[in-house]
Amino acid sequence: MTLQAQQYWNAIGSKKDFEDPLFMDKLVPFLSKSPAIIEYGCGYGRIIQNLKDQGYENLVGYDFAEAMIERGHKLNSHLDLRLLDKPNTIPCANESKDAVIMSTVLCCMVEESLQQQIMSEIDRVLKPHGVLYLSDFLICDHDKYKEKYAQGQRKFGTHGVYTTTENLTVRHFTSQHILKLLSQFDVQWFEQIDFKTMNNNPALTFHAIARKIAT
């Protein structure tokens, strides 16, 4: 995660509310009876609270924005939300978690090397046959994005990268790119879904469940 993204989520982003869904009906069949679940990029703990409401107890959320963690503790002091010392790493032992959730975090990792780094970390901490629930933004053909993508292509050299009006550089992906990132996993479910961003803009997202391949 970049310093620019960290500064954004500590300031502007920490005041926003999020609505990206977690499809529990898709996830539950892959969970053991008492799974150890972590969320990387938990924000203020909305998804962790959702999981707790569903009866799950062994839950930890990690985020690199101190303001997000502070907000989460104020809203739900009972949640185990922790500040990351080092972005793009997960402070958990090898093969210690049953499930990892990462929702709209990759979009802040413009460089492919950072994306690959966090995917390797997720693979490291998951138990054999553990699952990753991943969701993020796909390249959208809505007119609103055409000029943004064009400007980003000229500035960054990558289609789908652009800088928002709030000065946050983000990346939207092709489904092929995401599946390539997931190539070390066994993808169980992948679906594209129309969505609205936190700023109420039209968007195209994906939700995926991928299982760690036991060696």
Residues 92 and 125: their CA atoms lie apart, in Å, by: 6
Give the CA angle between residues 170, 70, 48 to the nearest 5°: 70
> Is the pLDDT score of 165 beyond 80?
yes
Per-residue pLDDT of 32-64, as tens digits, reads 889 999 999 999 999 999 999 999 999 999 999
Residues 149-157, mean pLDDT to the nearest whole number? 95
Residues 107 and 97: their CA atoms lie apart, in Å, by: 24
Residues 149 and 170: their CA atoms lie apart, in Å, by: 11
Tell me what pLDDT residue 46 has: 95
Domain 3-13+36-212: state its class. Answer: alpha beta
Give SS3 for 120.
helix
Residues 192-207, mean pLDDT to the nearest whole number? 83
178: confidence class by pLDDT, cuts 50, 70, 90: very high
Please state the domain extents for the chain: 3-13+36-212
Tell me what pLDDT residue 18 has: 74
Residues 188 and 26: their CA atoms lie apart, in Å, by: 10
195: confidence class by pLDDT, cuts 50, 70, 90: confident
DSSP letter string, 31-83 = --SS--EEEES-TTSHHHHHHHHTT---EEEEES-HHHHHHHHHH-TTS-EEE
Task: Determine what percent of the chain is predicted with pLDDT higher than 70.
Answer: 90
87: confidence class by pLDDT, cuts 50, 70, 90: confident
Tell me what pLDDT residue 127 has: 97
Tell me what pLDDT residue 77 has: 94
How, if at all, do strands 97-103 and 81-83 pair?
Answer: unpaired
> Is the pLDDT score of 119 beyond 70?
yes
Mean per-residue pLDDT of the chain: 91
Kindly give, in sequence order, each residue whose CB lies less than 8 Å from that of residue 145, ignoring residues fewer than 6 positions away.
139, 162, 172
> Is the pLDDT score of 14 beyond 60?
no
DSSP at 30: G
Tell me what pLDDT residue 201 has: 74
CB 161 within 8 Å of CB 115:
no
Tell me what pLDDT residue 202 has: 82
> Is the pLDDT score of 4 beyond 70?
no
> Is the pLDDT score of 88 beyond 60?
yes
Q: Which residues are bridge partners to 137 per DSSP?
A: 205
Give SS3 for 15.
helix
Kindly report the backbone phi and psi dihedral angles of residue 61, in degrees, each rounded to the nearest multiple of 5, phi listed first: -110, 140
Tell me what pLDDT residue 122 has: 98
Tell me what pLDDT residue 24 has: 96
25 Rama class: left (phi>0) / alpha (psi -120 to 50) / beta: alpha
Tell me what pLDDT residue 2 has: 63
Neighbours of 23 (CB within 10 A): 14
